[in-house]
Amino acid sequence: MAERGRFISFEGGEGVGKTTQIGRLADFLRQRGIEVVVTREPGGTPVGEAIRDVLLDKALPAMHADTELMLMYGARAEHVHKLIRPALERGQWVLSDRFADASHVYQGAGRGLDPARIDALDAWVLQGFAPDRTILFDMPVAQGMARVRSRGDTDRFEEEKQAFFERIRQGYLRRAAQFAERFVVVDAAREMDEVTATLIETVKPWLN
């Protein structure tokens, strides 16, 4: 039976460079013979991607925060059962652009939903399942949003006001302090190669 793979989630506000760095880390691991699955939330499965389309669609009327939260967890349940757990059981490493911490921060700190309700959904959907490591990309909100605007078209979340993203940043930093044994906080405002080097150092203890 294959040794269980590693599950690493990547968190942070908008424009912090997660996608680029996930790709770089995946390349590094594959060069060392490790099978890697790169995925994202919401999304990762056909059902999850359909839910993602609904969540990010600016053409739809504004949805209630409870609706947003439950759609996130619906996509997450599908993600865990259909993609993440099976990949780990095959010995693959899973690199996910966001996971459950994002709901605690975006719907909790950002939207103001009761943390206890999000904890209850965690207990129901995840049953204690969590990443082996969570990398938090941190940078000033204004810098991240400047990157987002430079890309052009924005989604529903990216059009929120700056105050929302300030709450997101602080929510992530609080969560990183609360779960310090799992989180690694990375200064994402540095040069890209420096950020990549930090990620590589983070996973080196797991490499043979």
The predicted-structure confidence for 120-167, as pLDDT tens digits, reads as follows 999 999 999 999 999 999 998 877 777 767 666 665 565 667 788 899
pLDDT tens track for 165-180: 899 999 999 999 999 9
Residue bearing the bigger pLDDT, 152 or 44: 44
Is the pLDDT score of 186 beyond 80? Answer: yes
Check residue 15 and give its pLDDT.
81
Bridge partners of 95, per DSSP, are 8, 38
User: Span 50-67, mean pLDDT?
Assistant: 92
Check residue 151 and give its pLDDT.
67
Give the per-residue SS3 of the chain: CCCCCCEEEEEECCCCCHHHHHHHHHHHHHHCCCCEEEEECCCCCHHHHHHHHHHHCCCCCCCCHHHHHHHHHHHHHHHHHHHHHHHHHCCCEEEEECCHHHHHHHHHHHCCCCHHHHHHHHHHHCCCCCCCEEEEEECCHHHHHHHHHHHCCCCCCCCCCHHHHHHHHHHHHHHHHHCCCCEEEEECCCCHHHHHHHHHHHHHHHCC
Structure pTM?
A: 0.92
Check residue 191 and give its pLDDT.
93
Location of structure tokens 């009761």? 114
Check residue 13 and give its pLDDT.
87
Check residue 79 and give its pLDDT.
98
User: Span 50-64, mean pLDDT?
Assistant: 91
Location of structure tokens 């909790």? 108
User: Span 54-75, mean pLDDT?
Assistant: 93
Check residue 158 and give its pLDDT.
56
Whether residue 6 contacts residue 132, with contact meaning beta carbons closer than 8 Å, is answered with yes
Is the pLDDT score of 184 beyond 60? Answer: yes
Q: Give 88's pLDDT tier (boundaries 50, 70, 90).
A: very high
CB neighbours of residue 105 within 10 Å: 26
Phi, psi (degrees; rounded to nearest 5) at 196: -60, -45
CB neighbours of residue 132 within 10 Å: 16
**How many angstroms separate the CA atoms of 8 and 128, rounded?**
15
Phi, psi (degrees; rounded to nearest 5) at 203: -95, -15
Is the pLDDT score of 26 beyond 90? Answer: yes
Check residue 2 and give its pLDDT.
64
CB neighbours of residue 119 within 10 Å: 12
